[in-house]
Structure 1
């Protein structure tokens, strides 16, 4: 088995609002191999973005990282050491944010912004040649768009400029946080196809954070599914889609339309955050039709079954 490039082990994060403390990320663990496109999936509010930002030292104000460990390229640090984790951003990790236009400075031309990324990465070669190459790689022409400001280009072009900024540091790992948000369907597909091709061509690992299961299924080999800050199922994507084990995974897949086999869609009831607070339990219990009293008494352990880990009481007593 290939040694992992990037690992998160037992990441836990608390949030305090109005004097009330809530565990919003609970013991999240994942492992990404070199050159792999890995999916991190869940509904809005499930803790996907918070987990990934904290893993690179960018936990937002008001969040308290209370436990866990992050390993990148044989460098291991406690997740609490946020300032230390930020060092990975200059040693092989890049970010691609949801809102590219919001992430780009409105006061600089797009060429200047990519150039600044090159300088911050310590590039010492011929900048114009490198800028031309970066714009070519992301499917843009430096002469056509380089002198424009973010408000003068389309959303798809802005996302490609943001990608050029990310690639300027020659990362071993790219964290793409819902990169297709606010893009039309055609542009969305083009961007994800480009990400997959770049991943293969540059042997770069990508963590694709998304809420769209059907998109992830086209490009990722493995994935983790989050619900209310807890991983519920993770492992081989093909096996998860063919026979989902966790009731939440089953619900997500049942809600995905299939144009080849039209069927009634079954929406998940309830919201991500619900049920009793302040107790160690399965956080899907308030939405689950298989709930038992045990589900409200403790968090389910990870059970390895059929090529993936599933966190559910239903499988704890069943032989593998």
Structure 2
């Protein structure tokens, strides 16, 4: 499903929170909103499922105004993952993940089959976890259940509001990879909020940089990295570290002659590795 923001503004007590924001999110893409706290990222995200209404402007899903849609139906086709997870403490994993399917009228056996099917996708054994309560889960496990709850009813769109910011670095990295793989497999239009450019670069097909209610720049990760619109956008890349973990020694040696022609002898190794990294990603994409 495509999502279109048209001239969105939002005012609170005569203070402008969003100023004439317009952009498009393509169907089935992973779109990341990046910016400092208070910049308007979460406000934009919550407008998609109408938890927040704009002061002016329009939001469309597949070219249809969301205000023309039944609110309950709109929200039931949108998954939502929060930073706080917010699992119901008195409900089992099966009941938590099956909540939205139950609201949509699925039968109990359908729900159980769906949850049993989904748990292995996030690395959890169904027999072990179906009847566990949230208090019996680690932080990373609970967040995995939160992700499954958001996708269980086969939504067309999923919203994710800094879902991994409270996790340790290892769990965060694992869940980033997990979410990206799930999004590709399930082909869900995904809108993700973060203030971490490393996370945005790892996940996004397109990125939007927001500052103080203004949209500064949108583009692919590489477009923003190579041609930031201003110093503020460039500042997000100051501490960015390219992920070279997939590059093998063989990749380097096979391309040694070509690389020696493309780079001077004193070229920084990071630049050479970036070239290999992007080439490797391109080959994976077209494989």
TM-score, normalised to structure 2's length? 0.78
Confirm whether residue 155 of structure 1 aligns to residue 144 of structure 2. no
Mark the CA change 1:86 to 1:27 in structure 2 (over 3 Å): closer, same or farther: farther
* Partner residue, 2:105: 122
- Per-residue CA deviation, residues 271-303 of structure 1 (Å, 9 max, x unaligned), is xxxxxxxxxxxxxxxxxxxxxxxxxxxxxxxxx
- Per-residue CA deviation, residues 143-184 of structure 1 (Å, 9 max, x unaligned), is 222222222211111111111111111012111111112111
Separation of aligned partners in 2, 1:170 and 1:84: 18
Mark the CA change 1:224 to 1:86 in structure 2 (over 3 Å): closer, same or farther: farther
Separation of aligned partners in 2, 1:168 and 1:121: 11
If each structure's helix is expressed as a fraction of its own residues, which one has the higher value?
2
- Per-residue CA deviation, residues 87-116 of structure 1 (Å, 9 max, x unaligned), is 3212x321111111xx11122122211122
Separation of aligned partners in 1, 2:30 and 2:121: 18
What is the Cα deviation at residue 74 of structure 1?
Answer: 3.5
Confirm whether residue 30 of structure 1 aligns to residue 15 of structure 2. no
Mark the CA change 1:252 to 1:32 in structure 2 (over 3 Å): closer, same or farther: same
After the TM superposition, which parts of structure 1 deviate over 3 Å for at least 4 consecutive aligned residues? 83-87, 255-262
- Per-residue CA deviation, residues 117-138 of structure 1 (Å, 9 max, x unaligned), is 2211332453322220121222
What is the Cα deviation at residue 259 of structure 1?
Answer: 9.7
Separation of aligned partners in 2, 1:85 and 1:177: 20
Aligned residues: 246
Equivalent residues of 1:56, 1:86 under 8 A apart: no
What is the Cα deviation at residue 142 of structure 1?
Answer: 2.6
* Partner residue, 1:178: 162
**Correspondent of 2:2 among 1, 5, 11:** 5
Structure 1 stretches lacking a partner, 5+ long? 263-320
* Partner residue, 1:72: 61
Mark the CA change 1:66 to 1:191 in structure 2 (over 3 Å): closer, same or farther: same
Q: Which has the higher contact order (CA 8 A, sep 6+)?
A: 2
**Correspondent of 1:145 among 118, 123, 129:** 129
- Per-residue CA deviation, residues 255-276 of structure 1 (Å, 9 max, x unaligned), is 44679989xxxxxxxxxxxxxx
Separation of aligned partners in 1, 2:160 and 2:237: 22
* Partner residue, 1:98: 83
Mark the CA change 1:12 to 1:110 in structure 2 (over 3 Å): closer, same or farther: same
* Partner residue, 1:240: 224
Cα root mean square deviation, aligned: 2.4
- Residues 12-51 of structure 1: matches in 2 within 5 Å? 12-16=9-13, 21-51=14-44
